[in-house]
Amino acid sequence: MNGFKQYLLAETDSYQGYVDERFQGLAEQFSRMQDARSDQGGAAVAVYFQGQKVVDICTGKKSQTEDWQTDTLSVCFSTGKGVLATLAHIMVSEGILDYDTPVAAYWPEFAQNGKSGMTLRHLLSHQSGLYDIRNNIGSAVEMYDWQHMLQVMEKATPRFQAGEDIAYQALTFGWLIGGVLEKAAKQPLTWLMQRYLVEPLQLDGAYFGVPSNQLERVARPLKKPKPVQPEKKTATQSYAKKKYKASFSDRLIELSGQNPQDFLDAMVPKNMREFSFYGDQGLQSVIPAANGAFTASSLARIYAMLANRGQWNDQQLIQPETFEALSKIQNIRRDRVMPVPMKWRMGYHRVLTMGKRVKHGFGHIGYNGSGAWCDPDRQLSFAYTHNFLIGSITGDYRLWGLTQETLRCADAVLKGHKGWF
């Protein structure tokens, strides 16, 4: 109830940036959701509608001493998977590689251990069986080394035959997709990003591996103040409280009837305490499934191009036949790792809302509650970034709420009324 009261009494204009008056409701909701925690971090939201930017706003703190700016970079975890997938689709459109040619044709070393027939389609749609990170590396710190991780993927053995099942490649996705792109084009992934995505779309911040001269732009989590304890609890009391306080994600996995070991193997490398996504080494490493750093505006523009079916400023970055392929649901089978239906496309999943339908929309959320998506039917795209210390495999409730309000504002223009469904 406290949170709901805070929301109702929150400031509705606690943000800076540009808002089209038709999307004022979204800006006010964004302000309400962030107002009570503005001293704990910051956030940004950006929206494109019918090819034009209609929202680009931010609020809160980038660091203890700096306010969030519209050009602030944010670590977006799995939201970056959609960006990497988009790069892959552009390269397919360019004829550099093909969805159904075996990966080993571009990357011969990849054929080891039963992977000779595996294709880019299998990798993009999480049907490869190569989701296990926990048993393929001895320590999380190995993820800092891009070339080493490509060799790990070469030697990995799938947990099931390609195409026979579906399991979210939570961390392996980046090395699998990024590796085949590099091998097919014979160029580094950072070069491919710049050539095929950043330059054509004139993005103001989109990195897998943040350059040293851009590190100061990155919003890192603020340290939480230590709560005052009226009396010190015993070790037994502390352990008991921790033991029985299951997270929402834990409960979802339990209720779904899935094997928790699949989730652990996909999501949690060993010795994570020795690793940090937010330290300089973590930010500068290339870990595309998890450490992409973006501005909200860059994410929204990437998806604006997708909302326009691959076209941007008179450039056809993704050919019509490629767009039809990438936006088609590949598999509706139950995922071994994710506890909710994802309706996987090639590199994207369905848009998660609080009621509105987005039948042909797709995008990707991140473990920290960031997210970006497009809806070609509405010619609409959206992105939300932040630096709060939260984690949920199904997205923070603010992401769902902001998505819903974005759709409602667009429908007010397109249909004459906002509606809830």
Are the CB atoms for 115 and 83 separated by under 8 Å? no
Q: Please, which pLDDT band fits residue 301 given cuts at 50, 70 and 90? A: very high
For 134, the domain range is: 74-222+246-350+386-405
**SS3 label, residue 52:** strand
Does residue 346 lie in a domain region?
Answer: yes
Separation between Cα atoms, residue 337 and residue 325, nearest integer Å: 24
**Whether the predicted pLDDT of 200 surpasses 90:** yes
Q: What is the pLDDT of residues 401-417, one digit of tens each?
A: 999 999 999 999 999 99
Does residue 380 lie in a domain region?
Answer: no
Q: What is the pLDDT of residues 226-239, one digit of tens each?
A: 655 555 444 333 33
DSSP β-ladder status, 218-219 and 206-207: unpaired
- Predicted confidence at residue 244, as pLDDT, reads 34
Mean pLDDT score, 47-54: 98
Mean pLDDT score, 222-226: 74
Q: What is the pLDDT of residues 126-148, one digit of tens each?
A: 999 999 999 999 999 999 999 99
Separation between Cα atoms, residue 275 and residue 298, nearest integer Å: 27
- Overall domain count for the chain: 1
Q: What is the pLDDT of residues 306-348, one digit of tens each?
A: 999 999 999 999 999 999 999 999 988 889 999 888 999 999 9
Pick the more confident residue, 5 or 177.
Answer: 177
Does residue 229 lie in a domain region?
Answer: no
Does residue 181 lie in a domain region?
Answer: yes
Q: What are the structure tokens assigned to 59, written together?
A: 């609020």
Pick the more confident residue, 39 or 327.
Answer: 327
**Whether the predicted pLDDT of 76 surpasses 90:** yes
Average pLDDT of the chain?
A: 92
CATH number at residue 251: 3.40.710.10
Helix (H) or strand (E) holding 59: strand 52-60
Does residue 364 lie in a domain region?
Answer: no
Mean pLDDT score, 46-53: 98
Separation between Cα atoms, residue 417 and residue 411, nearest integer Å: 6
Q: What is the pLDDT of residues 80-97, one digit of tens each?
A: 999 999 999 999 999 999
Does residue 320 lie in a domain region?
Answer: yes
**Whether the predicted pLDDT of 240 surpasses 50:** no
Pick the more confident residue, 231 or 66.
Answer: 66
Does residue 143 lie in a domain region?
Answer: yes
Does residue 414 lie in a domain region?
Answer: no
What is the amino acid identity at position 1? M
Are the CB atoms for 268 and 411 separated by under 8 Å? no
- Predicted confidence at residue 7, as pLDDT, reads 72
